[in-house]
Structures are given as structure tokens and as C-alpha cells.
């Protein structure tokens, strides 16, 4: 009998609360259980304040003092790991450094050999359409181009896991669609394990293998929706009846959340 492969990410009974001088103890996450296979693309959706970003930061080793079990590659997450890259909503590029220098920043902070990663940085920039902008400053680039640089920076050390916290939320609709397509291509080529937070249900369905729907605070998982659509996907496919059924299944949760508020 073949052995069952362990998930790359395993979360069991996760509970996280914060102390507030005004409101006392605030439960951000409660009894979160989730397994993510290596190479999967998982989207996380839910109302504002349901703990999506907190969950990502716990997986990144940026937030501690939680109860439950959070494992990455069978090792408990207690601090940041080189196996995890993080893409924030704001790429927070250093304004005095060129785009290439910003992408190589994690290499410098880890005291790694920059020469070893230089060619990879150029390759990543070409992949996302930034070739020729190596020596530009962040202020000389559009918001979409800066976010592309943020993705390159997260991938520079070739991590196993890519955590993305609403990376396209501040962009205009057309730029967002273009970057959705580029991200799909990067994932198809690299097969990174991706956990992607978004407030856009169509974006989640377009990109992900599974969509995890979280409840209002304290956040817990309401449903995990499988997205069994062939790849590569095209944006116009979101009008397909089969896709519409998936979108409706997810939206029903948000309607229920609104009715129970």
C-alpha cells in the first residue's frame, strides 16, 4: 500500500488572540485547521478583520504567542525561514536603492554571495517584464511594476513557499488582470506552494486550486472549495457556467455573513 505524502504546510487547532487596552482580549483566529500540499496554489478569502493576514504572518514566523500546531515541511514554525517568501500589499521598496538592488536586498541581509544570485535576479526581472529597468529607482516605476519587483524580491532565494497578502489590491483593474496572468505563469513554471490572500472572489477562483473561505472574527475555516478547472486559465473563462457555480458557492458564504451581522 503506497504511503500517504505529508502536506508541506500543516495547521492544527490554531488559536491566536491579541490584548487590547480598549477592548481586552480579542480573538483573531480560532480552531483553524488546514493542510496544503507541496506545489498547491491556495487562495484565502474572508471578511475584513477575519485574521487572513495574521495567518500569513504566523506561517512566515513573524507572529508568535499562538496556541496550536503550525508546521512547515514537518518542522514547527517559530521564526522566519529562508524557505518562505512574503509579498506584501505594498512592496515597500527602499527609495534610494535601484530595482535590482531592492530585489537583491534579502541576499544581502542573509549575508549570501550577491554574485551567485545576480543572474537569478536578472532572470526573474525578465520573467515579470522588468528587463531594462534594473537601474531605475522605485519612484520611476508604476505601481504594477513596483509590485512585480516585490514578487522578484520574494522569489530571489528560491523559497518553497510564497505567501502573498493582497499583492494586487491597490492596483487598477487592468493592471491587476495582467499581473494575475503573470502570476499564473510564474506558478505554472516554478510550482511554488502559494498561499494567496485576496478580497476578490473572481481573482481567487482564477488563480487557485482551492479557495479557503474564512468566517468573520474570530476567523475559522467555513469551507474549502476545490477549483477543478484546467490550466492555463484565461480571464474570459470566468463567465463560464461552471465557474459561475463556484463563484456563487463562495459568495453565498459572504451573503450569510452579512445576514448574521
Q: What is the pLDDT, as a whole number, of residue 3? A: 53
For residue 232, whether the previous peptide bond is cis, meaning omega lies within 30 degrees of 0, is: yes
Model confidence at 260: pLDDT above 70:
no
Confidence of residue 1 (pLDDT cuts 50, 70, 90): very low
Q: What is the pLDDT, as a whole number, of residue 167? A: 92
Cell of 84: 518562505
State the helix-helix crossing angle for 114-127 and 173-190, rounded to 10 degrees: 130
Q: What is the pLDDT, as a whole number, of residue 4? A: 62
Q: What is the mean pLDDT of residues 226-252?
A: 89
Q: What is the mean pLDDT of residues 40-46?
A: 96
Between CA 209 and CA 14 the distance in angstroms is 23
Q: Is residue 10 part of a domain?
A: yes
pTM, full prediction: 0.92
Q: What is the pLDDT, as a whole number, of residue 236? A: 84
> Which range marks the domain in which residue 242 is found?
1-71+191-261
Q: What is the pLDDT, as a whole number, of residue 261? A: 57
Model confidence at 2: pLDDT above 70:
no
CA distance to 63, 65, 152, 213, per residue, from 26 (Å) = 15, 13, 35, 21
CATH of the domain at 15: 3.40.50.300
Q: Give the model confidence (pLDDT) of 70-92 as tens digits.
A: 999 999 999 999 899 999 888 89
* Edge-to-edge strands, sheet with 75-76: 24-36, 9-20, 67-72, 75-76
Q: Is residue 113 part of a domain?
A: no
Domains contained in the chain, number: 1
Q: Is residue 13 part of a domain?
A: yes
Q: What is the mean pLDDT of residues 244-253?
A: 93
Model confidence at 230: pLDDT above 80:
yes
Q: Is residue 234 part of a domain?
A: yes
Q: What is the pLDDT, as a whole number, of residue 20? A: 74
- Tell me the torsion sign for CA atoms 234, 207, 227, 46: negative
Confidence of residue 5 (pLDDT cuts 50, 70, 90): confident
Q: What is the pLDDT, as a whole number, of residue 165? A: 95
Q: What is the pLDDT, as a whole number, of residue 242? A: 84
Q: Is residue 19 part of a domain?
A: yes
Q: What is the pLDDT, as a whole number, of residue 240? A: 83
HSE-CB at 247 with a 13 A cutoff on CA atoms is: 16
Q: Is residue 11 part of a domain?
A: yes
Q: What is the pLDDT, as a whole number, of residue 111? A: 86
Q: Is residue 45 part of a domain?
A: yes
Q: Is residue 227 part of a domain?
A: yes
Between CA 71 and CA 67 the distance in angstroms is 13
Model confidence at 9: pLDDT above 80:
yes
Amino acid at each position: 500500500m503506497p504511503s500517504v505524502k505529508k502536506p508541506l504546510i500543516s495547521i492544527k487547532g490554531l488559536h491566536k488572540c491579541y490584548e487590547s487596552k480598549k477592548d481586552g482580549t480579542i480573538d483573531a483566529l480560532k480552531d483553524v485547521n488546514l493542510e496544503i500540499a507541496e506545489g498547491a496554489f491556495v487562495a484565502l478569502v474572508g471578511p475584513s478583520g477575519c485574521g487572513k493576514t495574521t495567518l500569513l504572518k504566523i506561517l512566515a514566523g513573524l507572529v508568535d504567542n499562538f496556541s496550536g500546531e503550525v508546521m512547515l515541511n514537518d518542522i514547527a514554525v517559530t521564526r522566519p525561514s529562508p524557505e518562505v517568501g512574503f509579498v506584501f500589499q505594498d512592496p515597500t521598496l527602499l527609495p534610494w536603492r535601484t530595482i535590482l538592488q531592492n530585489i537583491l536586498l534579502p541576499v544581502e541581509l542573509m549575508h549570501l554571495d550577491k554574485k551567485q544570485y545576480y543572474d537569478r535576479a536578472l532572470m526573474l526581472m525578465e520573467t515579470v517584464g522588468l528587463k531594462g529597468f534594473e537601474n531605475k529607482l522605485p519612484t520611476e516605476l508604476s505601481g504594477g511594476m513596483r509590485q512585480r519587483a516585490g514578487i522578484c524580491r520574494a522569489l530571489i532565494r528560491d523559497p518553497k513557499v510564497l505567501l502573498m497578502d493582497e499583492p494586487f489590491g491597490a492596483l487598477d483593474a487592468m493592471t491587476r488582470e495582467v499581473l494575475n496572468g503573470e502570476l499564473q505563469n510564474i506558478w505554472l513554471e516554478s510550482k511554488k506552494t502559494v498561499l494567496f490572500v485576496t478580497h476578490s472572489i473572481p481573482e481567487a477562483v482564477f488563480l487557485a486550486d482551492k479557495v479557503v473561505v474564512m468566517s468573520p472574527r474570530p476567523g475559522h475555516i467555513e469551507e474549502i472549495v476545490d477549483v477543478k478547472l484546467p490550466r492555463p486559465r484565461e480571464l474570459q473563462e470566468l463567465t463560464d457556467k461552471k465557474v459561475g457555480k463556484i463563484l456563487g458557492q463562495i459568495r453565498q458564504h459572504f451573503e450569510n455573513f452579512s445576514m448574521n451581522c
